[in-house]
Amino acid sequence: MRSVEALEMIYRPWLLRITRRLARGEELRVNLAQILEQFYNALMQAVETGDPAWLDPILNEWVKAYTETEISSHELSLLTILGQIHLTTIDVAREILAEADALSLISLAAPAFVYAFETAARLEMERTIERISWDLEKANASLQRLDKSKSNFISVAAHELKTPLTLIEGYAAMLRDQLPAGAEYDQARIILKGMNNGTRRLREIIDDMIDVSLIDNNLLSLNFQPVWINRLIDLLHKELARSLEERRQILEIHPFESWAEMTFGDSERLYQAFRNVLLNSIKYTPDGGKITISGRQLPGFMEIIIADTGIGIDPEDHLRIFDKFGNLGDVSLHSSGKTKYKGGGPGLGLSITKGIIEAHGGSIWVESPGYDEIKCPGSTFHILLPLRKTPPDDRTAKLFAPLYNTENLPGAP
Ligand code: ADP
């Protein structure tokens, strides 16, 4: 018997059996019967011509028609359905046809079924990947929206807080000025000093919030001028001398080539960037620890390296600490101290530093074997800064011409 005749012969019982096996509700059964009929026709063509590609349109349509729930539910996966169809074909052929005819039909249909399995697996995989990418895109878009509203909130909150803070600072200053001299007012002076410390710290936090929102919105503008990194570090050393002494820490500075060379940059912003890194080194290094500043010259760049003997940072956090609010510690343990051991903070310092360094065309990264408060493996921050020998614009060129035109540019003070 010809295979097509055999297929025609088993069609009705096959359809009845497979529809019962697959369908749950009556409605689905009607739909399914139509789809199965199409599949069977394609199967007959494939078997007769020996070209399994006849199955492509129905398989494609099938995969497309699936809803997301159907795809994720294993029961209704296309491969499961094809498996059932294949088994039913074998069962019904064996029951209805003579043994030789059944065997011949089963072996002739086998390549078409193998092809159908392969194609269905590929199509289902493609569709699943498509769905996952779509889900990822959606999640990404909502993360971006969330980040935008976080950034808007920071900006609005910072500006709203600034006005009342200015009022408090102003009235506290008036009070201080009007306070008569004399020992009986010492207590009031101590209170005012406390208020002053508090408002100064609050202003620093608000300024950090404003800087973060400027960086987030690409609004950080740099005032380029001649900068000497050695001078910045020297100033910083002087500013932090007291904190270093309090924490019994040593700051070692190893000058390097290009250390004393002039480069164009925003000195205030660079100072702020180095200060943030150094303050962290002090903060996350136990009393008696050591901080080392060194560096090297690279073609067109200088690399400044700030290493400490502190608690270190887990490799999986090496990128996260540069995100805003990327602080790793327990927020409830935060103290307001800028240099107190493990003092914690709002988690804005390094994200501002990264923004400043990147606005200069540089980059910053950290190396640390891991976090260990007992062994203190330390952290090493690398700052790569382009060496700009020429002013970035005409205005800067005119302003600083006498400085950068001279043959012997001023070096260390
Ligand atoms: P914070 O205000 O919390 O110090 P930063 O943005 O300056 O915020 O730093 C983010 C986090 O990176 C810190 O909370 C700390 O966990 C970690 N970190 C930064 N510098 C160091 C360092 N030198 N050693 C160990 N951990 C550090």
Q: Whose CA is nearest to atom 8 of ligand 1?
A: 347
Phi, psi angle pair for 339, to nearest 5°: -125, 5
Residue 205: C-alpha distances to residues 60, 338, 356 (Å): 59, 11, 17
Query: Locate tokens 């924490």: which residue?
Result: 247
Neighbours of 229 (CB within 10 A): 26
Residue 230: C-alpha distances to residues 214, 253, 254, 353 (Å): 28, 10, 10, 18
pLDDT of the residue at 5:
86
Q: Is the CB of 310 under 6 A from ligand 1?
A: yes
Q: What is the rounded distance in angstroms from the CA atom of residue 285 to the CA atom of residue 311? A: 6
Query: Locate tokens 């699936």: which residue?
Result: 66
Q: Which atom of ligand 1 is nearest to the CA of 348?
A: 6
Q: Is the CB of 111 under 6 A from ligand 1?
A: no
pLDDT of the residue at 2:
79
| 199 beta partners | none
Q: Is the CB of 326 under 6 A from ligand 1?
A: yes
Centre of ligand 1 from the C-alpha of residue 149, in Å: 24
The token pair that represents 230 in the structure block: 């050695």
Centre of ligand 1 from the C-alpha of residue 302, in Å: 24
Q: Which amino acid is at 210?
A: I
Centre of ligand 1 from the C-alpha of residue 327, in Å: 6
Q: What is the rounded distance in angstroms from the CA atom of residue 364 to the CA atom of residue 382? A: 6
Centre of ligand 1 from the C-alpha of residue 321, in Å: 6
pLDDT of the residue at 408:
45
Q: What digits encode the pLDDT tens for the residues 198-249?
A: 999 999 999 999 999 899 888 899 999 999 999 999 999 999 999 999 999 9
Listing DSSP states for 54-120 in one string gives GGHHHHHHHHHH--HHHHHSGGG-HHHHHHHHHHHHHHHHHHHS-HHHHHHHHHHHHHHHHHHHHHH
**Alpha carbon distance, N-terminus to C-terminus of the chain:** 104
pLDDT of the residue at 330:
61
The token pair that represents 374 in the structure block: 């007992």
Q: What is the rounded distance in angstroms from the CA atom of residue 309 to the CA atom of residue 286? A: 8
Q: Which atom of ligand 1 is nearest to the CA of 276?
A: 7
Q: Which atom of ligand 1 is nearest to the CA of 346?
A: 2
Listing DSSP states for 7-38 in one string gives HHHHHHHHHHHHHHHH--SHHHHHHHHHHHHH
- How far is residue 1 CA from its own chain's centroid? 66
Residues of the chain with pLDDT under 50: 71, 407-413
In residues, how long is the chain? 413
- Whether the Cβ atoms of residue 66 and residue 79 lie closer than 8 Å to each other: no
In 3D space, the residue among 142, 149, 150, 160 whose CA is nearest the CA of residue 326 turns out to be 150
3-state secondary structure at position 181: coil
Q: Whose CA is nearest to atom 7 of ligand 1?
A: 349
Centre of ligand 1 from the C-alpha of residue 383, in Å: 16
pLDDT of the residue at 398:
79
pLDDT of the residue at 412:
42
In 3D space, the residue among 221, 216, 243 whose CA is nearest the CA of residue 324 turns out to be 216
Q: What digits encode the pLDDT tens for the residues 233-244?
A: 999 999 999 999
Q: What is the rounded distance in angstroms from the CA atom of residue 333 to the CA atom of residue 336? A: 10
HEC states along 246-312?
A: HCCCEEEECCCCCCCCEEEECHHHHHHHHHHHHHHHHHCCCCCCEEEEEEEEECCEEEEEEEECCCC
pLDDT of the residue at 334:
55
* Residue burial 186-201, b: 16+ Cβ < 10 Å; e: rest: eeeeeebeebeeebee
Residues 6+ away with beta carbon under 8 Å from 114: 52
pLDDT of the residue at 73:
54
